């Protein structure tokens, strides 16, 4: 497969101002007639031939200006059509089989309904078209089909006509007045019902809102609808963005490769990010739904009204939209907790990407398969980069920058450079050097050293951006660091400062410190870097107990534990060192468990121990077995030391009745966290406590939390409750997904055996991405099982990739990165992981998706 380079971008020689699509719908055969108005693009090199992308299509007929022609040729899947004049009308007929489309790209059947997924390059599986985001067209869509089979017919924009056809057939015609690229096209036809509502925009327009689902799911759509209305209001207030159609439809689909898709006026969602009620969805599910609904809605401006010139600019819409949804969720759920959670995701998913074989800048320079670049780097690091601009400018100037960006580029296909320029002009920032964040991959390492002399404290900052594939040498980048220096006695500081580390090194002197101060750095995680500092343990205990920046406080706790566990799992600790490390962690955790000033949501964050992937990331060479053993043994020790406090928290939290308010949610969070710590110390007693929590649960958060703990404990209660859970929810695929995941993630010593058995379960299928991820992503994220020294875990994931690749390449390729971490593993495991990658690479007929990921991982 060819390498596609950013520098090779050329404008398309033709404009396609209008397209009319006519669908004759059928599950096994859908006939598509596409009529394109094309005209020469004066801003591009002239061409006598138009290349219309296709993937697996054969034209049944091609007509130019009303006359059938046959002078076209095929180049790979693309149709090459000679066009002699300045402007033409091109009409092409194709036929596709949606029921056979297991890739879930293009038009496919899910549960008897028809739906589409076109981003990034799915439209070319429906019809021949310049399937690239810089070709913007006005779409008119007519669809016709059986009324019994497809009572609801939806597409982008507004419904402009409908009527009855012959027999049981009916039709609808949709028109979208906003020019858009093909990746934003959508069509849905099926037996659906809607929860309907409306929203009055800031200029007083009434927008009709619908959330379309299967009839039995209607009772679980209330939260999605509320989230949508909140998002619409928030985007008006915070970014001045008003919705621009009279109708906004969301459809929930059970078979979906991604979370959701922002098609203009017709968002298509994975059911996982729509359906919720307290009985079947956890607090985490509720938050995720709110965040994804907001994300897709916000794309209407950051993505749709202003779209991307080419896929190298993906972070232009995704990084910015992730930042927008994060800021929204911070406003809805509380800033501190949301920030800590977002950073945890960044560190556990993006940092490993940035330090491994798949590292790429947020604006990549090349790719073979764009689906592989829907990554945590493009999305989450992309959001961090724009967040840094906001931190440097301040919220008001940042808003001026985004206003200018939307104004300047409305209706255009823009670049990351356009965004940066608008920020410079609108927010008044100089981003000349800051642009390096777009071109350099790798997580910068920043070392911070405080020295003290007389009454002056001197802070020395140094940065180093590590080499990444294709980028051996790096330039220093501008890094905005929020920091504060605490006086040890008064535990106060003289105010937070924003320091720009804009070269390789910077030294700053602070006067008025009779004693060495305690440094609080990268407050609020102001820059996506890893801070390396060697500070006395008591400084971390100090900050963990009283830093006024909630993020920095949680960070101190994390550093304390990370430092201890990395040393323990690395060079090893003698008894004295182990004792001292543990005592400091115990002291900090005791303060957290009992601090009356903390609310439970924050207490919960502070109780979460660093994950094993992140710990491995801190080590040059990681032994996952030792990391796991050390982390579990620390948990057991803490549970034995703080058992009374943990049981008190569990009892107190258990008496709080269910509601969705902050306190009740916080109570549920600390309840299960306490339980999982206690389980490490006293498995038997905790099994009883967990069984009680399970039996008493009147909501999914408590029930799932209890079952998660039980799933790791070899006990009779485990088996009973797993059977009970399955029986209760067997009709609900999203809850059965949880049932698969809980077992695949568990601490149970036989987790691998359990996954093997679940693979044979009658409810398992490789055709449904949610189910595949429920079992196997959960498993790949379960360190003790995935990294079993025998290599069985690696083999299972490789077997899955090989089996899934022909069915759903996009999903299969997502399982490659866990194996790609081999370089950072101890030699035994590294060899086993590599061997599995080589076995995959040797398979005949690998998809472009998997082939690219495997080749880069071996690279």
296 lies in the binding site for ligand DPP (CB under 6 A): yes
CA distance 659 to 665: 7
Specify the residue, 488 or 848, whose C-beta has the smaller distance to ligand DPP. 848
CA distance 506 to 498: 13
600 lies in the binding site for ligand DPP (CB under 6 A): no
* Other residues' Cβ atoms within 10 Å of the Cβ of residue 93: 17
Compute CA distances 29 → 46, 105, 741, whole Å. Answer: 37, 16, 36
Site residue total, Zn ion (CB under 5 A) = 2
Specify the residue, 320 or 513, whose C-beta has the smaller distance to Zn ion. 320
Among the listed residues 119, 217, 235, 354, the single contact to ligand DPP using CB under 6 A: 119
852 lies in the binding site for ligand DPP (CB under 6 A): no
Minimum Å gap between C-beta 326 and Zn ion is 12
539 lies in the binding site for ligand DPP (CB under 6 A): no
Site residue total, ligand DPP (CB under 6 A) = 9
258 lies in the binding site for ligand DPP (CB under 6 A): yes
Token pair listed for 708? 């998660």
Specify the residue, 176 or 318, whose C-beta has the smaller distance to Zn ion. 318
Q: Do residues 707 and 722 touch, judged by C-beta distance below 8 A?
A: yes
CA distance 701 to 333: 17
262 lies in the binding site for ligand DPP (CB under 6 A): yes
Task: Pick the stretch among 108-116, 215-223, 258-266, 488-496 that binds ligand DPP (CB under 6 A).
Answer: 258-266
- CA dihedral sign, ordered 391, 395, 397, 398: positive
CA distance 552 to 45: 54
* Segment 259 to 318, residues that bind Zn ion, using CB under 5 A: 318
Minimum Å gap between C-beta 187 and ligand DPP is 17
384 lies in the binding site for ligand DPP (CB under 6 A): no
Identified catalytic residue from 121, 173, 290, 296: 296
Among the listed residues 318, 384, 605, 612, the single contact to ligand DPP using CB under 6 A: 318
What is the separation of C-alpha 798 from the centre of its chain, rounded to a whole number of angstroms?
23
Specify the residue, 173 or 262, whose C-beta has the smaller distance to ligand DPP. 262
Query: Hey, what's the torsion of the CAs at 598, 602, 603, 604, to 10 degrees?
Result: 160
Look at strands 137-146 and 14-24 and give their pairing.
Answer: parallel
Minimum Å gap between C-beta 379 and ligand DPP is 7
Q: Do residues 461 and 482 touch, judged by C-beta distance below 8 A?
A: no
261 lies in the binding site for ligand DPP (CB under 6 A): yes
268 lies in the binding site for ligand DPP (CB under 6 A): no
Specify the residue, 258 or 646, whose C-beta has the smaller distance to ligand DPP. 258
814 lies in the binding site for ligand DPP (CB under 6 A): no
Write down the number of H helices and E strands in the chain: 31, 31
295 lies in the binding site for ligand DPP (CB under 6 A): yes
Minimum Å gap between C-beta 414 and ligand DPP is 16
Minimum Å gap between C-beta 239 and ligand DPP is 17
CA distance 545 to 541: 6
CA distance 249 to 795: 43
Residue 604, H or E segment: helix 600-607
Task: Pick the stretch among 260-268, 615-623, 761-769, 817-825 that binds ligand DPP (CB under 6 A).
Answer: 260-268
**Known catalytic membership, residue 731:** no
What is the separation of C-alpha 379 from the centre of its chain, rounded to a whole number of angstroms?
7
Site of tokens 């669908």 = 23
Q: Can you spell out the DSSP letters for 307-359? A: EESSGGGHHHHHHHHHHHHHHHHHHHH-HHHHHHHHHHHIIIIIHHHHTSTT-
Specify the residue, 106 or 480, whose C-beta has the smaller distance to ligand DPP. 106
Task: Pick the stretch among 50-58, 320-328, 667-675, 796-804 that binds Zn ion (CB under 5 A).
Answer: 320-328
119 binds, among Zn ion, ligand DPP, none (CB under 5 to 8 A by kind): ligand DPP
258 binds, among Zn ion, ligand DPP, none (CB under 5 to 8 A by kind): ligand DPP
36 binds, among ligand DPP, Zn ion, none (CB under 5 to 8 A by kind): none
DSSP 3-state of 519: strand
Query: Which residues bind to ligand DPP, rule: CB under 6 A?
Result: 119, 258, 260-262, 295-296, 299, 318
Query: Which residues bind to Zn ion, rule: CB under 5 A?
Result: 318, 321
Which residues have a catalytic role annotated? 296
């Amino acid at each position: 497969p060819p390498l596609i380079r950013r520098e090779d971008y050329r404008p398309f020689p033709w404009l396609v101002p209008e397209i009319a699509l006519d669908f004759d719908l059928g599950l096994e055969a859908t006939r598509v007639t596409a009529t394109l108005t094309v005209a020469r693009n004066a801003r591009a090199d002239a061409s006598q031939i138009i290349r219309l992308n296709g993937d697996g299509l054969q034209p049944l007929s091609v007509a130019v200006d009303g006359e059938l022609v046959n002078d076209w040729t095929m180049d790979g899947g693309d149709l090459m059509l000679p066009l002699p004049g300045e402007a033409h009308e091109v009409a092409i007929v194709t036929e596709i089989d949606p029921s056979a489309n297991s890739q879930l790209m293009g038009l496919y059947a899910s549960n008897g309904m028809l739906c589409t997924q076109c981003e990034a390059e799915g439209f070319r599986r429906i019809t021949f078209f310049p399937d690239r985001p810089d070709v913007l067209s006005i779409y008119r869509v007519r669809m016709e089909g059986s009324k019994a089979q497809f009572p609801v017919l939806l597409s982008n924009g507004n419904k402009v006509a409908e009527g009855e056809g012959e027999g049981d057939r009916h039709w609808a015609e949709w028109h979208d007045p906003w020019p858009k690229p093909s990746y934003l096209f959508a069509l849905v036809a099926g037996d659906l019902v809607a929860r309907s509502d409306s929203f009055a925009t800031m200029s007083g327009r009434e927008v009709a809102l619908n959330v379309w689902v299967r009839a039995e799911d209607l009772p679980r759509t209330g939260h999605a609808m509320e989230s949508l209305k909140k998002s619409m209001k928030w985007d008006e207030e915070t970014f001045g963005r008003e919705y621009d159609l009279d109708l906004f439809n969301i459809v929930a689909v059970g078979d979906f490769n991604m979370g959701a898709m922002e098609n203009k006026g017709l968002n298509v969602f994975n059911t996982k990010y729509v359906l919720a009620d307290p009985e079947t969805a956890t607090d985490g599910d509720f938050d995720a739904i709110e965040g994804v609904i907001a994300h897709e809605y916000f794309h209407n401006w950051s993505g749709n009204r202003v779209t991307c010139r080419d896929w190298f600019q993906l972070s232009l819409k995704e990084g910015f939209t992730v930042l927008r949804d994060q800021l929204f969720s911070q406003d809805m759920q509380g800033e501190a907790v949301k920030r800590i959670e977002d950073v945890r995701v960044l560190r556990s998913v993006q940092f490993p990407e940035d330090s491994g074989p798949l590292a790429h800048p947020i604006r990549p320079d090349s790719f073979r398969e764009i689906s592989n670049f829907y990554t945590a780097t493009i999305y989450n690091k992309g959001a961090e980069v724009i967040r840094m601009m906001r931190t440097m400018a301040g919220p008001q100037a940042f808003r001026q920058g985004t206003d200018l960006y939307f104004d300047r580029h409305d209706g255009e296909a823009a670049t990351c450079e356009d965004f940066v320029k608008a920020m410079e002009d609108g927010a008044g920032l100089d981003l000349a050097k800051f642009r390096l964040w777009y071109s350099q991959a790798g997580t910068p390492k920043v070392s911070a050293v405080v020295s003290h002399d007389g009454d002056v404290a001197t802070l020395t900052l140094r940065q180093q951006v590590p080499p990444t594939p294709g980028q051996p040498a790096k330039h220093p980048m501008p890094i905005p660091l929020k920091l504060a220096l605490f006086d040890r006695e008064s535990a106060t500081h003289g105010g937070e400062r924003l320091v720009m580390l804009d070269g390789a090194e910077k030294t700053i002197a602070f006067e008025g410190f009779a004693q060495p101060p305690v440094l609080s750095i990268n407050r609020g995680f102001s820059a996506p870097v890893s801070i390396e500092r060697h500070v006395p343990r008591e400084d971390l205990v100090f900050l963990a107990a009283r830093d006024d920046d909630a993020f920095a406080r949680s960070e101190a706790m994390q550093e304390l534990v990370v430092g201890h566990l990395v040393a323990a799992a690395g060079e090893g600790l003698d008894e004295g060192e182990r004792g001292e490390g543990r005592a400091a962690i115990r002291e900090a955790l005791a303060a957290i468990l009992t601090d009356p000033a903390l609310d439970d949501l924050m207490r919960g964050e502070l109780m979460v121990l660093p994950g094993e992937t992140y710990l491995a990331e801190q080590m040059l060479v990681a032994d996952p077995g030792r990391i796991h053993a050390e982390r579990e043994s620390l948990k057991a020790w803490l549970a034995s030391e703080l058992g009374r406090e943990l049981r008190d928290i569990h009892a107190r939290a258990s008496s709080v009745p269910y509601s969705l308010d902050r306190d009740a949610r916080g109570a549920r969070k600390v309840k299960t966290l306490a339980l999982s710590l206690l389980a490490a110390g006293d498995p038997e007693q905790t099994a009883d406590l967990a069984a009680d929590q399970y039996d008493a649960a009147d909501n999914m958060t408590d029930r799932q939390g209890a079952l998660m703990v039980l799933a790791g404990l070899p006990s009779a209660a485990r088996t009973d409750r797993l059977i009970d859970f399955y029986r209760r929810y067997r009709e609900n695929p999203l809850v059965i997904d949880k049932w698969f995941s809980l077992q695949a993630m568990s601490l149970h010593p036989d987790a691998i055996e359990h996954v093997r058995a679940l693979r044979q379960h009658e409810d398992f299928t490789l055709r449904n991405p949610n189910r595949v991820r429920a079992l196997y992503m959960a498993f790949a994220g379960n360190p003790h099982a995935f990294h079993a020294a025998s290599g069985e875990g690696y083999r299972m994931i490789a077997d899955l990739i090989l089996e899934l690749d022909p069915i759903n390449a996009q999903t299969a390729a997502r399982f490659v990165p866990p194996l790609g971490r081999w370089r950072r593993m101890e030699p035994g495991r590294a060899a086993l992981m590599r061997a599995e990658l080589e076995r995959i690479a040797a398979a005949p007929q690998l998809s472009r998706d998997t082939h690219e990921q495997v080749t880069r991982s071996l690279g």
